[in-house]
Amino acid sequence: MFHVSNLNNKYQYDFSIKTFENKVLSKHLDKKDPFQVVAFIKKIINSNEWPWDTLTDYNCKRIEFLIQEKLPKGITNKKEVYQWLVNNWRKYYFPGSSNVSIN
């Protein structure tokens, strides 16, 4: 599964946050909270029933990239973030693309 330790170090997460239980229930996604980002990504994995494999790992990293680098600043509602991801999934080049074989 995808864990906080799998997040890309180039993004500035606030690792001083100790707990995330109450924030997971929040309607808004805090891109600086590593626990919230991982919980959001895991929810996408589970709701789409993706099997855990290298393609899913790649997709987790792609979701993180899209949230951190391409998501417009005004979109923070989790439902809107998810809808934006669905609508823009193929729009942006993800630099990790060459590492995955879909054969």
pTM of the entire predicted model? 0.85
The residue extents of the domains of the chain are 4-98
Q: Distance of CA 89 to CAs 48, 84, 99, 101, Å?
A: 15, 8, 18, 18
Residue 6: pLDDT over 80: yes
* 98 pLDDT above the threshold of 70: no
The pLDDT confidence band at residue 103, using thresholds 50, 70 and 90, is very low
Using 50, 70 and 90 to split pLDDT, how confident is the model at 62?
very high
Q: What is the pLDDT of residues 22-58, one digit of tens each?
A: 555 689 999 999 999 999 999 999 999 999 999 999 9
